[in-house]
């Protein structure tokens, strides 16, 4: 289950990368590059920190093929129909949810402590999107007031708690995915955000 969920997450995040690059009017090569970095970046960082060798996409090139194919399909489809402005946000929410659950699961399966499993889930979920935003000249979502990494953190904690209570891996993974999606979409819909540093205090320094 985790393998196919991971592949699906790679495809979804590749779509977000292609959409973000398309907004900047990049050519097809640039779109594929941004999509690959977005889809594979978080997992690459996770495997590096955990000392996993070879990296997941080196051991199984299906990940690269799925990401590249998703980027090309998105590029082709966008030439015939203009993507909805909010499609990027919704696709990113699902990618964040899947990668959070998968990252936590892989770390947990590798014997990492609960706290590390949570952090690996967040890292897997947000790192690729951070690089995507930087390459596209945008402030990364994780650095804005939006509830983004917080949603990922909630999902990672939920997964680890459920697994520690001997809840089955499929149920724990599904619950984590649904929680991240619910929190992120609620934040988008109701424009929820975390408290920010008061501007007047910053200006007085």
Number of C-alpha atoms within 13 angstroms, CB side, residue 75? 22
Task: For residue range 52-100, list pLDDT tens digits in order.
Answer: 999 999 999 999 999 999 999 999 999 888 888 789 999 999 999 999 9
Question: Quick check: is 57 in a domain?
Answer: yes
Question: Quick check: is 199 in a domain?
Answer: no
Domain count, the chain: 1
Question: Quick check: is 200 in a domain?
Answer: no
* Containing structural domain, residue 147: 2-193
Residue 168 has pLDDT above 90, yes or no: yes
Closest by CA to 41, choosing from 147, 125, 109, is: 125
Integer Cα distance of 174 and 170 in angstroms: 6
Question: What pTM did the predictor assign?
Answer: 0.93
Question: Quick check: is 180 in a domain?
Answer: yes
């Amino acid at each position: 289950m985790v393998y196919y969920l991971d592949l699906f997450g790679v495809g979804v995040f590749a779509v977000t990368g292609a959409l973000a690059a398309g907004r900047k009017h990049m050519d097809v090569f640039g779109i594929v590059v941004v999509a690959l970095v977005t889809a594979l970046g978080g997992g690459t960082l996770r495997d590096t920190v955990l000392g996993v060798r070879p990296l997941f996409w080196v051991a199984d090139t299906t990940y690269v093929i799925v990401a590249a194919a998703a980027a090309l399909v998105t590029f082709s489809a966008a030439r015939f129909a203009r993507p909805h402005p909010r499609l990027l946000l919704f696709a990113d929410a699902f990618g964040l949810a899947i990668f959070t659950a998968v990252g936590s699961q892989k770390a947990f399966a590798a014997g990492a402590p609960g706290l590390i499993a949570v952090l690996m889930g967040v890292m897997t979920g947000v790192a690729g999107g951070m690089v995507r935003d930087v390459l596209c000249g945008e402030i990364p979502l994780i650095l804005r007031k939006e509830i983004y990494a917080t949603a990922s953190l909630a999902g990672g904690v939920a997964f680890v708690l459920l697994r520690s209570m001997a809840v089955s891996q499929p149920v724990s993974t599904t619950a984590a995915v649904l929680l991240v999606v619910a929190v992120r979409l609620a934040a988008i819909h109701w424009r929820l955000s975390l408290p920010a540093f008061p501007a007047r205090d910053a200006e007085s320094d």
